[in-house]
Amino acid sequence: MTVLENFINHQADPKLPGFLSNSIKKGYSSFNEFVKREPELQLYESRNVYGYLRHIFIDIILKRDAHNSGIDLKVKTREIPENGYTYLVIEHKNCIITVHKTSLKNSLPAKAVNRTMRSKINNGIPNIDLQLSLFENPPLEKEQIKTGQIYLMVTYGGSHYKLEYVNLGMPNDGVTRWLDIKNITNSLTTTEDVSETEQAQINLEFQNEVKRMLEREKKNGGQI
């Protein structure tokens, strides 16, 4: 049995795969409904920002669902100092999870220092030198790296702007290949659907996040 299989079958909450998959599905659904309501986003030129906007919805719903899931989760928002880009880090038992869009079902996400640093714990390295220059690499908080932890990545994607897969994978040290990967697209979930009131709150939070994204873009000379 692989480390990933052992974690999913014997250590993780049984509801975890369904929670992750269902929240991403709802993020896609919320984004698609948003596009239908906004004529400007239906323009061909607007498709360049679909990835950013969809991921905002996914992050918002992951945070919302985490509170209602009944799973022992810690969901934190981390920021890369150089450009102000934020991303979610989900902690569950002895596991750290991040979420990423990929171009193909079994491909790795784009190279990033924060993922490469976290992946070192998958090689059993308990102590990592985190004293890195802010101008070269964003440091990770020391409390995030603990002996016995594993690092997993949720990857999702599809063609023609439709979700076709959600995977849970364990990258190697350096994030150059998968040590193991599991399709969790159809994992069972007990999370309730989004009510109209909750959807309104999600839409408001989305609008606020877009404003922050635009402020970051302006501050960083066009870089989101």
pLDDT of res. 2: 81
156 in a structural domain: yes
- Encode pLDDT of 169-191 as tens digits: 999 999 999 999 999 999 987 65
224 in a structural domain: no
195 in a structural domain: yes
Mean pLDDT, range 153-161, rounded to an integer: 93
63 in a structural domain: yes
Domain membership of residue 27 as a residue range: 3-129+137-219
Give percent above pLDDT 70 in the chain.
71
Domain count, the chain: 1
- Encode pLDDT of 188-221 as tens digits: 876 566 666 776 677 767 766 766 666 666 566 5
How far is residue 130 CA from its own chain's centroid?
22
